[in-house]
A and B are shown apart, each in its own frame.
Chain A
Amino acid sequence: MIDIQNLSFAYAEQAVLSNLSVSVAENEFWAVVGPNGAGKSTFLSLLSGQLTPQAGSLQIEGHSIQDFSTRQLAAKLALVRQEFVPAFGFSVQETVLMARFGQKNAFFAQNADIQAVQAALKATDTQDFADRPLGHLSGGERQRVFIARALAQETPVLLLDEPTSHLDLKHQVRIFDLLKQMQCEQGKTILLVTHDINLTCQYCDRVLLLGSEGKSYQGSPREVLDVRHIEETFGVKGYQGHIQQEKFFLPLGQFSKDRPQE
Chain B
Amino acid sequence: MLTAGKLIARIGIALVILLAVMCLSLLVGKDIDNKLELISISKVVQGIQSEWHYLFSGYHNTADEPPNVDFQIFLYFRLPRVCLAVVIGAALACSGVVFQAILRNPLADPYILGISSGAGLGTMLAVCFGWTFRVAWLGLSPIMACSFAGAMLTVWLVWGIGRITGRQHVTGLLLAGVVVNAFFSAMIMFLSSILDARDLQSTIFRLMGNFQELECPLPVVASALMVLAGTVILTMMGNRLNILSYGSDDARSLGVSVERTSLIAFALAALMTSLAVSLSGLIGFVGLIVPHAVRLVAGPDHRQLIPLSAIVGAAFLVAADAVARVIVPNELLPVGVITALAGGPFFLILLIRYTKSIHWGRA
Q: Which residues of A contact B (CB under 8 A)?
A: 45, 48-50, 70-71, 73-75, 77-79, 81, 84-91, 93-95, 97-99, 101-103, 106-109, 114, 133-136, 149, 153, 159
Contact = CB atoms under 8 A, between A and B. Distances in A.
Nearest to A155: B253
A70 B255 contact: yes
B251 interface: yes
B236 A107 contact: yes
8 closest A-B pairs by CB: A135-B359, A74-B255, A102-B255, A102-B254, A79-B253, A88-B300, A101-B239, A85-B361
B62 to A, nearest CB: 50
Contacts of B198: none
B199 interface: no
Given A88-B360, A95-B246, A99-B254, 19 more contacts: A70-B257, A79-B250, A79-B253, A81-B249, A85-B359, A86-B362, A87-B361, A89-B295, A89-B358, A90-B242, A98-B239, A101-B254, A102-B254, A102-B255, A103-B255, A107-B236, A107-B239, A135-B361, A149-B254
B26 to A, nearest CB: 35
A101 B245 CA distance: 14
Contacts of A71: 255, 257
A188 to B, nearest CB: 15
A85 B362 contact: yes
A174 B299 CA distance: 31
Contacts of A98: 239, 242-243, 246, 254
Nearest to A150: B253
8 contacts: A70-B255, A86-B362, A88-B245, A91-B299, A98-B243, A102-B254, A106-B239, A134-B361
Interface stretch (B1-9, B127-135, B187-195, B273-281): B1-9
A100 to B, nearest CB: 9
Nearest to B258: A70
Contacts of B101: 88
A67 to B, nearest CB: 16
B51 interface: no
Q: How large is the interface on B (under 10, 10 to 19, 20 to 34, 35 or more residues)?
A: 35 or more
**Listed residue (A71, A90, A102, A149) with the most chain B CB atoms within 10 angstroms of its CB:** A102
Contacts of A108: 2-4
B78 interface: no
Contacts of B81: none
Nearest to A78: B253
A86 B106 CA distance: 11
Contact of A89 (B105, B254, B300): B300
Contacts of A97: 1
**Listed residue (B250, B254, B301) with the most chain A CB atoms within 10 angstroms of its CB:** B254
A81 B295 contact: no
Contacts of A81: 249-250
Contacts of A79: 249-250, 253
A101 B361 contact: no
A87 B301 contact: no
B303 interface: yes
Contacts of B251: 102
Nearest to A87: B104
Interface in B200-223: none
Interface of B: 1-4, 100-101, 104-106, 236, 238-240, 242-243, 245-247, 249-257, 295, 299-301, 303, 357-363
Contacts of B249: 45, 48, 50, 79, 81
Contacts of B363: 87
A136 B255 contact: no
Contacts of B360: 87-89, 135
B105 A87 contact: yes
Given A102-B251, A108-B3, A88 B295 contact: yes
Given A85-B362, A97-B1, A102 B256 contact: yes
Contacts of A49: 252
Contacts of B300: 88-90, 94
**Listed residue (B4, B105, B301) with the most chain A CB atoms within 10 angstroms of its CB:** B301
B8 to A, nearest CB: 11
B243 A101 contact: yes
Nearest to B358: A89
B5 to A, nearest CB: 10
Contacts of B242: 90, 94, 98, 101
A62 to B, nearest CB: 21
Contacts of A99: 254
A260 B254 CA distance: 47
A101 B238 CA distance: 10
B256 A88 contact: no
B239 A114 contact: no
Contacts of A74: 252-255
B245 A87 contact: yes
Given A98-B243, A108-B3, A86 B255 contact: no
A87 B301 CA distance: 12
A153 B362 contact: no
B177 to A, nearest CB: 17
Contacts of B358: 89, 133
Contacts of B256: 70, 102
A77 B250 CA distance: 12
B301 A94 contact: yes
A88 B106 contact: yes
